[in-house]
Amino acid sequence: MKLTTEQQRMLDGGYGRATQKAMEILVALGTIYGAAQMVSVASVQVSGVSYDNLGEAGLHWLSAMADGGGRTRVLTTLNPAGMDIENWRALGISEEFAQNQLRVIDAFARMNVITSCTCTPYLAGNAPHFGQHLAWAESSAVCYANSVIGARTNREGGPSALAAALTGVTPEYGLHLEARRRPAITFDVEAALDETSDFGALGVVIGQRLERFKDKPVPYLRGIERASVEQLKSFCASVATYGGAALFHMAGVTPEADRYAPPDDTIVITQADLDHAQQSLTSAASDAADFVSLGCPHLSIGEIARIAELLDGRRVTKEFWITTARATKQIADQMGYTRIIEAAGAKFAADTCCVVAPIKGRFKALVTDSAKACYYAAGKNKFKTVIKPFDEVVLSAVK
C-alpha cells in the first residue's frame, strides 16, 4: 500500500502507541482487500459500546488505546450503550453493569469520541453529504449512509472504525470505489408498503434472497414511489440484518439510482412474500406479550411526537421502552412529549436499545414495529416476538 509521509509516521509510532496500532489495523485491512492507498474520511461512527457485547477484554483494549494517547482526528460519534446513561436504575440495570458501562463510555470520551450513543448518527449531529468518504460501523447506519445519503463507507467493525477515527483515514477499497457500487440484481416490488413494519418485512424478504448469493449483489429496487426517513431507516436496519447489505439503490428515492439501468436479473416481490415475512416475525399472540419497544433504529422526533399523541391521557399496562438518541429526547423534553409519555407510564431508554441492553431472558415476548429488533430479541435475548404497525404497537401497550 502507498502511504503518505504522515501516514508512514503514524505507522512508525511517531504519533504514539494508539495511533500506531490504529494504522497497523488499517494497513493490514488495506493489504488484505487490495487497497492502493488510504482515503480521508469526513466522519466516523464507532460500534462496540455495550459492555454486554464488549466484556472486560474489549474495555481493556479501549482503555489501552485511550491511555496510549489515542485522540480522534475527525468527527466521531458512538453507537448505543447497554443502558440509559442517566436513567439506568429505572430500567432495571444492575449497579455492577452500570459501573462497567460507564468505564467504557469514559474510555471513548477520553479519546474525544462524541458519546452520542445512537445508531442513527444522521439524526443526531453526524450528518454527512453525498459522495463523502466515511468509516462507519453499525450496519443500519452504514446502509443508510451509502444508500439514502450517497456517502461512501464499508461496513466497519468497532476496532477498524476507531482506527479510522484516530488517524482520519481508511483504506480505499470496497464501497469507496465507484465500480463496487454498481447494482447487479433488480427487485420489482409489487406489494403495498405503508408502515415502517412493512419496510422492515421488505428488508427480510430481500435480505434473505441476497443471502443465497456467494458474492452478494448490490440490489436495485423498483416500484416504491416514495419513502420517509423513518421507513428508510427501518428498511436499512432490516436488509442489513437479514442480508448483510451495505448498499441498495431505490429508483426515484435514493440519489445514485439514476446512474444505473436496472440490472436484467430480476426478482419480483409480491404481497404474499411480504405477508409471509410478517408472519415469520410473529411467534406469539399479542396478548401474551409483556414487553413493548419502539426505537430500533432509534426514533426520530416525529415518531416520538406520534407516540405522545397516541398516549395522551392513557395508561400503559406493559413494560414499554422508547429508545432514542439523548439529543432527540432533549427535543422531546422541550416539546412536552416526554411528560405526556412518562405520565402514561412508558419509559424512555435513551442511549441504548433492546438489542444491546443486558435483558436476556427478562421478558417472554416483545411487541415492536422493527424486523431487526425481532431478529435480536429471538436470537440473543430468547424472547418470542410480535411485529405490528407503529400505531398498533403503541396501542397494544395500553390494552
Partner 1 sequence: MFSVTSVVDWPEIVMKLQGRKIYQGTAAAEALVTSMGISFFGGVDPDTGLVVEPGHELAGQSISGKVLVFPTGKGSTVGSYTLYRLKLNGRAPAAIINAECETITAVGCIIAEIPCVDQIPIEQLVTGQLLIVDGAQGTVEVRA
Residues that bind partner 1 (CB under 8 A): 21, 24-25, 28-29, 31-32, 48, 53-58, 60-61, 157-160
Question: For residue 153, how many other CB atoms are within 10 A of its CB?
Answer: 31
What's the min distance (Å) between Cβ of 266 and partner 1? Answer: 31
Say if residues 170 and 177 touch (Cβ distance below 8 Å).
no
What's the min distance (Å) between Cβ of 68 and partner 1? Answer: 12
CA–CA distance, 50 with 179 (Å, rounded to integer): 35
What's the min distance (Å) between Cβ of 77 and partner 1? Answer: 19
What's the min distance (Å) between Cβ of 155 and partner 1? Answer: 9
What's the min distance (Å) between Cβ of 219 and partner 1? Answer: 23
Cβ proximity to partner 1, 56 vs 309, nearer residue: 56
Query: Reduced to 3 DSSP states, what percent helix, strand and coil does the chain have, rounded to the nearest 5?
Result: 45, 15, 40
Cβ proximity to partner 1, 31 vs 317, nearer residue: 31
Question: For residue 100, how many other CB atoms are within 10 A of its CB?
Answer: 17
Q: Which helix (H) or strand (E) holds 348?
A: strand 347-350
Phi, psi of 296 (to 5 degrees): -130, 100
Q: Residue 385: beta bridge partners?
A: 366
Per-position DSSP letters for 280-340, written without gaps between them: HT--S-GGG--EEEE-SSPPPHHHHHHHHHHHTT----SEEEEEE-HHHHHHHHHHTHHHH
Cβ proximity to partner 1, 20 vs 146, nearer residue: 20
Cβ proximity to partner 1, 61 vs 260, nearer residue: 61
Cβ proximity to partner 1, 60 vs 89, nearer residue: 60
Cβ proximity to partner 1, 166 vs 310, nearer residue: 166
CA–CA distance, 90 with 93 (Å, rounded to integer): 8
User: Residue 380, SS3?
Assistant: coil
What's the min distance (Å) between Cβ of 57 and partner 1? Answer: 4
What's the min distance (Å) between Cβ of 262 and partner 1? Answer: 32
Cβ proximity to partner 1, 157 vs 263, nearer residue: 157
In sequence order, what are the residues at sequence separation of 6 or more whose Cβ sits closer than 8 angstroms to the Cβ of residue 197?
Answer: 234, 278, 369, 370, 371, 387, 388, 389, 390
